[in-house]
Chains A and B, each alone.
Chain A
Amino acid sequence: EPEVTQTPSHQVTQMGQEVILRCVPISNHLYFYWYRQILGQKVEFLVSFYNNEISEKSEIFDDQFSVERPDGSNFTLKIRSTKLEDSAMYFCASGSGANVLTFGAGSRLTVL
Protein backbone atom coordinates (compact mmCIF):
# COMPACT_ATOMS: atom_id res chain seq x y z
CA GLU A 1 0.00 0.00 0.00
CA PRO A 2 1.39 3.45 -0.89
CA GLU A 3 2.63 5.48 2.03
CA VAL A 4 3.89 8.93 2.90
CA THR A 5 7.52 8.84 3.98
CA GLN A 6 9.01 11.39 6.37
CA THR A 7 12.60 12.07 7.35
CA PRO A 8 14.14 12.42 9.81
CA SER A 9 12.10 10.46 12.32
CA HIS A 10 13.64 12.49 15.15
CA GLN A 11 15.71 15.65 15.08
CA VAL A 12 17.25 17.47 18.02
CA THR A 13 18.33 21.06 17.42
CA GLN A 14 19.43 24.12 19.32
CA MET A 15 17.14 27.11 19.63
CA GLY A 16 17.71 29.53 16.78
CA GLN A 17 18.89 26.90 14.32
CA GLU A 18 17.24 26.18 10.98
CA VAL A 19 15.51 22.87 10.48
CA ILE A 20 14.26 21.20 7.32
CA LEU A 21 11.78 18.36 7.54
CA ARG A 22 11.33 16.23 4.45
CA CYS A 23 8.41 14.30 3.08
CA VAL A 24 7.84 12.08 0.08
CA PRO A 25 4.08 12.14 -0.62
CA ILE A 26 2.19 9.44 -2.48
CA SER A 27 3.15 9.78 -6.12
CA ASN A 28 -0.22 10.51 -7.75
CA HIS A 29 -1.48 12.84 -5.03
CA LEU A 30 -1.99 16.52 -5.79
CA TYR A 31 -2.56 18.06 -2.36
CA PHE A 32 0.12 18.27 0.31
CA TYR A 33 -0.13 19.30 3.92
CA TRP A 34 1.84 19.84 7.09
CA TYR A 35 0.31 19.38 10.51
CA ARG A 36 1.90 19.40 13.92
CA GLN A 37 1.04 17.83 17.27
CA ILE A 38 2.56 19.14 20.46
CA LEU A 39 2.80 16.37 23.06
CA GLY A 40 -0.60 15.82 24.64
CA GLN A 41 -2.30 18.35 22.39
CA LYS A 42 -4.48 18.12 19.31
CA VAL A 43 -3.27 17.77 15.75
CA GLU A 44 -3.02 21.30 14.31
CA PHE A 45 -3.09 22.37 10.69
CA LEU A 46 -0.10 24.35 9.46
CA VAL A 47 -0.34 24.65 5.68
CA SER A 48 -1.78 23.12 2.54
CA PHE A 49 -0.09 23.18 -0.86
CA TYR A 50 -1.58 22.63 -4.28
CA ASN A 51 -0.40 23.35 -7.81
CA ASN A 52 2.96 24.62 -6.51
CA GLU A 53 1.55 27.21 -4.19
CA ILE A 54 0.14 27.55 -0.70
CA SER A 55 -3.63 27.16 -0.77
CA GLU A 56 -4.25 27.77 2.92
CA LYS A 57 -2.18 28.41 6.03
CA SER A 58 -2.93 28.77 9.71
CA GLU A 59 -1.93 31.47 12.16
CA ILE A 60 0.82 29.16 13.37
CA PHE A 61 2.45 29.24 9.95
CA ASP A 62 4.21 32.58 10.35
CA ASP A 63 7.26 34.00 8.61
CA GLN A 64 9.53 31.49 10.34
CA PHE A 65 7.95 28.68 8.34
CA SER A 66 8.16 27.94 4.64
CA VAL A 67 7.28 25.02 2.39
CA GLU A 68 8.73 23.93 -0.89
CA ARG A 69 8.29 21.23 -3.45
CA PRO A 70 11.81 21.32 -4.91
CA ASP A 71 11.26 18.46 -7.34
CA GLY A 72 8.52 16.09 -8.41
CA SER A 73 8.70 13.91 -5.35
CA ASN A 74 9.76 15.82 -2.22
CA PHE A 75 7.82 18.26 -0.06
CA THR A 76 9.72 20.12 2.65
CA LEU A 77 8.93 22.21 5.69
CA LYS A 78 11.59 24.69 6.79
CA ILE A 79 11.68 26.41 10.16
CA ARG A 80 14.19 29.28 9.91
CA SER A 81 14.96 30.00 13.54
CA THR A 82 13.57 27.39 15.87
CA LYS A 83 12.02 28.24 19.21
CA LEU A 84 11.44 26.02 22.21
CA GLU A 85 7.72 26.00 21.46
CA ASP A 86 8.36 24.51 18.02
CA SER A 87 9.07 21.18 19.72
CA ALA A 88 6.40 18.86 18.39
CA MET A 89 5.65 15.97 16.09
CA TYR A 90 5.31 17.24 12.54
CA PHE A 91 3.12 15.22 10.18
CA CYS A 92 3.16 15.44 6.43
CA ALA A 93 0.03 14.33 4.60
CA SER A 94 -1.01 14.03 0.98
CA GLY A 95 -4.30 13.52 -0.78
CA SER A 96 -5.80 13.18 -4.23
CA GLY A 97 -8.87 15.18 -3.23
CA ALA A 98 -12.00 14.93 -1.11
CA ASN A 99 -10.02 15.41 2.11
CA VAL A 100 -8.99 11.76 2.10
CA LEU A 101 -5.53 12.31 3.52
CA THR A 102 -2.75 9.83 4.10
CA PHE A 103 -0.45 10.85 6.91
CA GLY A 104 3.17 9.98 7.36
CA ALA A 105 4.54 8.57 10.59
CA GLY A 106 5.83 12.00 11.61
CA SER A 107 9.09 13.75 12.40
CA ARG A 108 9.69 14.48 16.04
CA LEU A 109 11.43 17.83 16.53
CA THR A 110 13.06 18.61 19.86
CA VAL A 111 14.35 22.15 20.33
CA LEU A 112 16.78 22.65 23.21
Chain B
Amino acid sequence: QKEVEQDPGPLSVPEGAIVSLNCTYSNSAFQYFMWYRQYSRKGPELLMYTYSSGNKEDGRFTAQVDKSSKYISLFIRDSQPSDSATYLCAMSRYQAGTALIFGKGTTLSVSS
Protein backbone atom coordinates (compact mmCIF):
# COMPACT_ATOMS: atom_id res chain seq x y z
CA GLN B 1 0.00 0.00 0.00
CA LYS B 2 1.35 3.39 -0.98
CA GLU B 3 1.95 5.81 1.86
CA VAL B 4 -0.24 8.56 0.37
CA GLU B 5 -2.81 7.93 -2.33
CA GLN B 6 -4.53 10.57 -4.41
CA ASP B 7 -6.76 10.17 -7.43
CA PRO B 8 -4.87 11.87 -10.26
CA GLY B 9 -8.01 12.80 -12.18
CA PRO B 10 -8.22 14.72 -14.41
CA LEU B 11 -11.23 16.44 -12.93
CA SER B 12 -13.23 18.87 -15.09
CA VAL B 13 -15.93 21.12 -13.66
CA PRO B 14 -17.86 24.20 -14.80
CA GLU B 15 -17.19 27.57 -13.24
CA GLY B 16 -19.02 27.99 -9.95
CA ALA B 17 -19.03 24.29 -9.07
CA ILE B 18 -17.98 22.90 -5.72
CA VAL B 19 -14.87 20.76 -6.02
CA SER B 20 -13.90 17.97 -3.66
CA LEU B 21 -10.35 16.63 -3.64
CA ASN B 22 -9.24 13.76 -1.43
CA CYS B 23 -6.27 11.80 -0.18
CA THR B 24 -5.91 8.69 1.91
CA TYR B 25 -2.83 7.66 3.79
CA SER B 26 -1.53 4.64 5.65
CA ASN B 27 0.94 6.03 8.20
CA SER B 28 -0.86 6.88 11.44
CA ALA B 29 2.19 8.90 12.57
CA PHE B 30 1.30 11.75 10.22
CA GLN B 31 0.13 14.77 12.21
CA TYR B 32 0.52 17.71 9.84
CA PHE B 33 -1.50 17.94 6.66
CA MET B 34 -1.17 20.36 3.79
CA TRP B 35 -2.62 21.13 0.40
CA TYR B 36 -0.45 22.63 -2.29
CA ARG B 37 -1.38 24.00 -5.69
CA GLN B 38 1.02 23.54 -8.58
CA TYR B 39 0.78 25.22 -11.95
CA SER B 40 2.54 23.66 -14.91
CA ARG B 41 6.35 23.78 -14.62
CA LYS B 42 6.17 25.76 -11.37
CA GLY B 43 6.90 24.92 -7.76
CA PRO B 44 4.15 23.89 -5.34
CA GLU B 45 2.41 26.74 -3.54
CA LEU B 46 0.95 26.20 -0.07
CA LEU B 47 -2.83 26.60 0.11
CA MET B 48 -3.88 25.09 3.43
CA TYR B 49 -2.13 23.78 6.53
CA THR B 50 -3.82 21.73 9.25
CA TYR B 51 -2.57 20.09 12.40
CA SER B 52 -4.28 16.86 13.49
CA SER B 53 -8.01 16.31 12.89
CA GLY B 54 -10.58 18.98 12.17
CA ASN B 55 -11.62 21.60 9.66
CA LYS B 56 -9.98 24.79 8.49
CA GLU B 57 -11.51 27.40 6.23
CA ASP B 58 -9.79 30.13 4.20
CA GLY B 59 -11.97 32.02 1.79
CA ARG B 60 -13.33 29.61 -0.81
CA PHE B 61 -11.14 26.76 0.46
CA THR B 62 -11.93 24.31 3.27
CA ALA B 63 -9.58 21.58 4.43
CA GLN B 64 -10.80 18.61 6.46
CA VAL B 65 -8.75 15.97 8.24
CA ASP B 66 -10.16 12.74 9.63
CA LYS B 67 -7.28 10.93 11.31
CA SER B 68 -9.47 8.03 12.42
CA SER B 69 -10.18 7.24 8.77
CA LYS B 70 -6.77 8.42 7.52
CA TYR B 71 -8.56 10.65 5.05
CA ILE B 72 -8.11 14.31 4.13
CA SER B 73 -10.14 16.55 1.86
CA LEU B 74 -9.98 19.94 0.21
CA PHE B 75 -13.18 21.65 -0.87
CA ILE B 76 -13.21 24.57 -3.28
CA ARG B 77 -16.42 26.60 -3.42
CA ASP B 78 -17.45 28.75 -6.38
CA SER B 79 -14.59 27.40 -8.46
CA GLN B 80 -12.96 29.78 -10.94
CA PRO B 81 -10.97 29.15 -14.14
CA SER B 82 -7.93 30.46 -12.25
CA ASP B 83 -8.28 27.45 -9.92
CA SER B 84 -7.25 25.20 -12.81
CA ALA B 85 -4.06 23.55 -11.60
CA THR B 86 -2.76 20.39 -10.01
CA TYR B 87 -3.59 20.03 -6.33
CA LEU B 88 -1.18 18.07 -4.15
CA CYS B 89 -1.86 16.77 -0.70
CA ALA B 90 1.15 16.47 1.59
CA MET B 91 1.70 15.30 5.13
CA SER B 92 4.44 14.91 7.69
CA ARG B 93 5.14 13.41 11.10
CA TYR B 94 6.84 16.36 12.70
CA GLN B 95 6.48 20.09 12.72
CA ALA B 96 9.61 21.15 10.89
CA GLY B 97 12.81 19.96 9.27
CA THR B 98 11.35 16.69 8.15
CA ALA B 99 10.02 15.11 4.98
CA LEU B 100 6.74 16.10 3.43
CA ILE B 101 5.19 13.06 1.76
CA PHE B 102 3.18 14.11 -1.26
CA GLY B 103 0.32 12.55 -3.11
CA LYS B 104 0.62 12.32 -6.85
CA GLY B 105 -1.70 15.28 -7.36
CA THR B 106 -5.15 15.80 -8.89
CA THR B 107 -5.35 17.86 -12.05
CA LEU B 108 -8.34 20.20 -11.98
CA SER B 109 -9.77 22.08 -14.95
CA VAL B 110 -12.48 24.70 -14.40
CA SER B 111 -14.21 25.85 -17.55
CA SER B 112 -15.90 29.23 -17.94
Interface residues of chain A, those whose CB is within 8 Å of chain B, are 4, 31, 35, 41-45, 48, 50, 55-56, 58, 89, 91, 93, 95, 97-106, 108
- Assess whether A55 is in contact with B103, with CB atoms less than 8 Å apart: no
Q: Is the interface of B mostly helix, strand, loop or mixed?
A: loop
CA distance A42 to B95 in the complex (A): 22
Interface residues of chain B, those whose CB is within 8 Å of chain A, are 32, 34, 41-46, 49, 88, 90, 92, 95-105
Q: Is the interface of A mostly helix, strand, loop or mixed?
A: strand
Partner of B43, one of A50, A56, A97, A104: A104
CA distance A101 to B34 in the complex (A): 10
- Assess whether A42 is in contact with B46, with CB atoms less than 8 Å apart: no
- Assess whether B97 is in contact with A45, with CB atoms less than 8 Å apart: no
